[in-house]
Amino acid sequence: MPACLHIPTQYQSRYSLLTEFCSEVASEARVLGLEVNPAPGSAAAAAGLHVFVLFNSIKSAEHMAAWIRPFGEAAALLHWLVDHPLMLDTPTVDAFASKQRGYQLLTVCPDDTHWLRFRWPGMVHFTMPHGVRPSALADETTLEASHAATEAARGGRDVGILLSGWIHTRRELEDLRSQVPESLRAPCDALVRLRLDHPELSFGQAFEIAMPPGVRASNHWLWLSSIMRYTVAVVNRERRLRLVAALRGLPVTLLGGEAWREVESDTTRYAGSCDYGDLPGWFKRARVGLALNPTQFVTSWSERLLLSLAGGAATLTDRRVLVERDFGASKAPMLEMFSVQHPEEMRAKAEGLLASPELRAQMAHQALPEIASKHLWRHRLSTILNRVGVETRAAEPRAQARGV
């Protein structure tokens, strides 16, 4: 039976991330043969199964019901969370998990998802990571340089080490700290130190160690969420500043919030904020992509990792169990990993990659077919739709889109 995909066209999110995700998913849905956002009453709307997809926040249960109602009944309502489970808006999820037929929660990482079953025992949940669009794939002719000058001439790889990400300003951290009860600020400091010294510890594990015995709250989930927001922000800032400091003297370009201006130097350049849709072009310019993984998680990887691999940059990333599982098994490596506890290890690897165009090209040649065959949005969407009983037509990556 033909299927229709309903997905928002506009979101409020930092760097237009979720708007771009929706656009990319919609584009790939069309490649798979789905009708996207048909008008109520149209022939397409009348003929097919209706699958609704939304990312992160839900405006309200009433708003969602009004969105679905003109199309009859949803075959599936797929709520795709690209953050930690503690960031869910629990009252709205309460309503959907208990009342909305076809509701399923997708998370991009398995970290702490066992908590979901305590809050919503009957919830249908599975893990589904990010994807990238075909146009994020680099043109392979930009990878075949034998030395740096030729590489720059052919592929425009004029960026040395590219780091895209976010850190909070000191003022923003003060604001987050003020939202934590004063009696728990010292335990939060202890939690931060634990996670900095032991990066394998999840937030939940560090919380259990650092918090005083017997501490409780009337809304435990909301309380945990506020503590997580603050402590993750502190760990994220401290960890990333240490890593950038270790690269001093190397050609580094930073993309993200204004807080990066604090570390500008003769060789470390802050290039401003960047909409998510423009990031593929930056990674196609980079010789080395420093793809740091999300601090709120400890096992999984960032969409920046996919963009760096797709863009043909020699990818350097922090070692995690799912990075090793998903990208580290090849005999010819497509990326290099380091421990966030040892910034000097990261620097040594970055220097080695900058000095070896041949190695960078070899890694990129390994990475491109891997991303093209396994990590496009169409691969994610096909898996999801098959789970909910919607057939899709097979579609290969569009090679002509490379380099766009």
Tell me the C-alpha distance between 96 and 77, whole Å. 9
At residue 43, the pLDDT reads 86
Cβ–Cβ < 8 Å for 401, 51: no
Ordered by where they begin, the domains of the chain are 3-131+377-401 (3.40.50), 134-168+244-374 (3.40.50.2000), 184-241 (no CATH)
The string over 283-294, giving b where at least 16 C-beta atoms fall within 10 Å of a residue's C-beta and e elsewhere, is: bbbbbbbbbbbb
- With a threshold of 0.95, does the pTM exceed it? no
The two structure tokens encoding residue 402: 């490379």
Nearest residue to 320 (alpha-carbon basis) of 346, 345, 302, 343: 302
Going by their DSSP bridges, the two strands 76-81 and 335-338 should be labelled as unpaired
What sign does the dihedral 109-110-111-115 (CA atoms) show? positive
CA distance 284 to 156: 8
Contact 167, 237 (CB under 8 A): yes
What CA–CA distance (Å, rounded) separates 50 from 45? 8
Q: What is the pLDDT along the chain (404 residues), one digit of tens a residue?
A: 568 999 998 887 778 899 999 999 999 999 999 999 999 989 888 877 899 999 998 777 788 888 888 998 888 999 999 999 999 988 889 888 877 778 999 999 999 999 999 999 989 999 999 999 999 999 987 775 544 555 545 457 999 999 999 999 999 999 999 999 999 999 999 999 999 999 999 999 999 999 998 888 888 898 999 999 999 999 999 999 999 999 999 999 999 999 999 999 999 999 999 999 999 999 999 999 999 999 999 999 999 999 999 999 999 999 999 999 999 876 679 999 999 999 999 999 999 999 999 999 999 999 999 999 999 999 999 999 988 877 777 655 544 333 32
Q: How far apart are CA 103 and CA 125, in angstroms?
A: 9
Two structure tokens written together for 352: 């080695």
Label residues 50-79 b or e (16+ Cβ within 10 Å = b).
bbbbbbbbbeebeebeebbeebeebbbbbb
pLDDT of residue 146: 40
pLDDT at 60: 78
Buried b / exposed e over 363-388, threshold 16 CB at 10 Å, is bbebbbebbbeebbbbbbbbebbeeb
Which pLDDT belongs to residue 184?
94
pLDDT at 1: 55
Whether the Cβ atoms of residue 73 and residue 26 lie closer than 8 Å to each other? no
Torsion of CA 299, 302, 303, 307, to 10 degrees: -110
pLDDT of residue 331: 66
CB atoms inside a 10 Å sphere around CB 346: 23
- For the chain, the residue count is 404
Backbone angles phi, psi at 92, to 5 degrees: -70, -40
Backbone angles phi, psi at 319, to 5 degrees: -70, 130
Q: Which of 89, 17, 80, 40 is nearest to 60 (CA)?
A: 89
